[in-house]
Amino acid sequence: MQPRSNRLQQMIQWVVDIFYPPSCMTCGAAIAATDGICPACWRQFPFITRPYCERYGTPLPFDHGGMSFSPLAVADPPVFDRARAVARYDGVARELVRQLKYNDHPELAAPMGQWMVREGAELLSSAQLLVPIPLHRFRLWRRRFNQATVLANEIGRRTSIAIGHETLLRVKATRPQVGLTRKERAANLEKAFSVNPSEISRVAGARIVLIDDVMTTASTGNAAARALLKAGALSVDLLVFALVAKDA
């Protein structure tokens, strides 16, 4: 005989399934279990696998064995140590990010966070603090929640790593990054972040992993990492769900 709370949970699930049958998180096709994607979407999922650039996390065309670096990482290394992403920001992965960000589907953060824990295992194993990249207050109000925060909550829940919700402050209203050149993006984001004075003791000497949903260029991660390193962080890595992969 099952405990009462389990039976109650099952009953609730039946009712939910009748009114909201489980559907694929990206295309809406009917599937067997909740929190999943259908086999067709799964096959198209643009997972990033090795070889990828050790610094930027971007996929590389050839495996040279050992540590690999993209030409960009050699010519223009990032401020953060290492970036890792679950997927290329494309197709099914892009749709998941869009659903999480704009369509009020915070429940997607659970499977997305789970994938990030797996892909970011190397970064997370030595991390002492997770810091979600904050949105500017105006954009937070429009979107109602910060997708970086909900992903950080999921990762923190699964790894027991502390989360610095108030660690980084966005100090300047930045223009949307869309349509700006690389140089313009960097200038737009210069001094965009500062470390909350009350959090400095937490940041000093800590190994930190920044969390965000998407890395478009490295400029946001660089600006956030610069602020944390200035405040005495020992190391800063960046873990995102998806990255815009340019030809390496």
Residues that bind Zn ion (CB under 5 A): 24, 27, 29, 38, 41
* Sign of the CA dihedral running 207, 212, 214, 218: negative
* Distance between CA atoms of residues 118 and 158, nearest Å: 10
Smallest separation (angstroms) from Zn ion to the CB of 140: 30
Smallest separation (angstroms) from Zn ion to the CB of 91: 11
Task: For 125-186, give the DSSP string.
Answer: TT-SEEEEPPPPHHHHHHHSS-HHHHHHHHHHHHH--EE-TTTEEE-S-PPP-TT--HHHHH
Nearer to Zn ion, 42 or 69 (CB): 42
- Of 96, 120, 129, nearest to 110 by C-alpha is 96
Smallest separation (angstroms) from Zn ion to the CB of 25: 7
Nearer to Zn ion, 24 or 186 (CB): 24
Smallest separation (angstroms) from Zn ion to the CB of 120: 25
Smallest separation (angstroms) from Zn ion to the CB of 89: 18
Nearer to Zn ion, 91 or 106 (CB): 91
Nearer to Zn ion, 103 or 181 (CB): 103
Contact by Cβ (8 Å): 131, 210:
yes
Phi, psi of 207 (to 5 degrees): -90, 120
